[in-house]
Amino acid sequence: MAELSFREAIAAAIAQEMARDPMVYFIGEDVGAAGGVFKATVGLFERFGPERVRDTPISEQAIIGAAMGAAMTGLRPVAEIMFSDFLATCWDMVANQVAKTRYMTDGQVSLPLVIRTANGGGTRFGAQHSQSLENWGMSVPGLKVVAPSTPADAMGLLAAAIRDPDPVLFFEQKSLYGVKGEVPEGEHVDRLGSAKVLRSGKDCTIVALAAMVPRALRAAEKLEDLDIDATVVDVRSLVPLDTRTILGEIVKTGRLFTVEENPRLCGWGAEIASIAADECFDDLDGPIVRITTPHVPLPAADVLEDVAMPSVERIIETVRKSMR
Q: Taking residues 77-105, report their average pLDDT.
A: 97
Q: What value does the mean pLDDT of the chain take?
A: 97
Task: Report whether pLDDT(324) > 90.
Answer: no
Q: Where are the domains of the chain?
A: 2-183, 196-323
Query: What single letter denotes the amino acid at residue 41?
Result: T
- With vertex at residue 138, the alpha carbon angle to CA 136 and CA 141, rounded to the nearest 5 degrees, is 110
Helices (H), the chain: 6-20, 44-48, 60-72, 91-92, 101-104, 134-138, 151-163, 212-223, 243-253, 268-279, 302-308, 312-323
Task: Give Cα separations from 52 to 79, 159, 180, 294, 316 (angstroms).
Answer: 12, 17, 28, 41, 47
Among candidate residues 76, 129, 215, 255, the one labeled active-site is: 129
Q: What share of the chain has pLDDT > 70, as a percent?
A: 100
Query: Residue 243's pLDDT band (boundaries 50, 70, 90)?
Result: very high
Q: Taking residues 181-197, report their average pLDDT.
A: 97
Mapped onto helix, strand or coil, the DSSP state of residue 238 is strand
pLDDT of 209 reads: 98
- 129 as an active site residue: the answer is yes
pLDDT of 9 reads: 98
pLDDT of 1 reads: 86
CB 28 within 8 A of CB 118: no
Q: pLDDT tens digit string along 244-272?
A: 999 999 999 999 999 999 999 999 999 99
Would you tell me the crossing angle of helices 151-163 and 6-20 to the nearest 10 degrees?
30
Q: pLDDT tens digit string along 64-83?
A: 999 999 999 999 999 999 99
Q: pLDDT tens digit string along 137-168?
A: 999 999 999 999 999 999 999 999 999 999 99
275: how many CB neighbours lie within 10 A of its CB? 15
pLDDT of 122 reads: 94
For the domain made up of 196-323, give the CATH fold.
Rossmann fold (3.40.50)
Q: What is the pTM of this model?
A: 0.97
Q: Which residues of 7-43 are buried (b: 16+ CB within 10 A; e: fewer)?
A: bbbbbbbbbbbbeeeebbbbbbbbbbeebbebebbbe
Q: Taking residues 164-173, report their average pLDDT.
A: 98
Query: Residue 93's pLDDT band (boundaries 50, 70, 90)?
Result: very high
Query: Residue 86's pLDDT band (boundaries 50, 70, 90)?
Result: very high
HEC string for 164-204 = CCCCEEEEEEHHHCCCEEEECCCCCCCCCCCCEEEECCCCE
CB 256 within 8 A of CB 201: no
Identify the CATH number of the domain defined by range 2-183.
3.40.50.970
Helices (H), 105-167: 134-138, 151-163
Q: pLDDT tens digit string along 203-213?
A: 999 999 999 99
Q: Which residues of 232-259 are buried (b: 16+ CB within 10 A; e: fewer)?
A: bbbbbbbbebbbebbbebbebbebbbbb
d(CA 68, CA 75): 9
Q: pLDDT tens digit string along 276-289?
A: 999 999 999 999 99
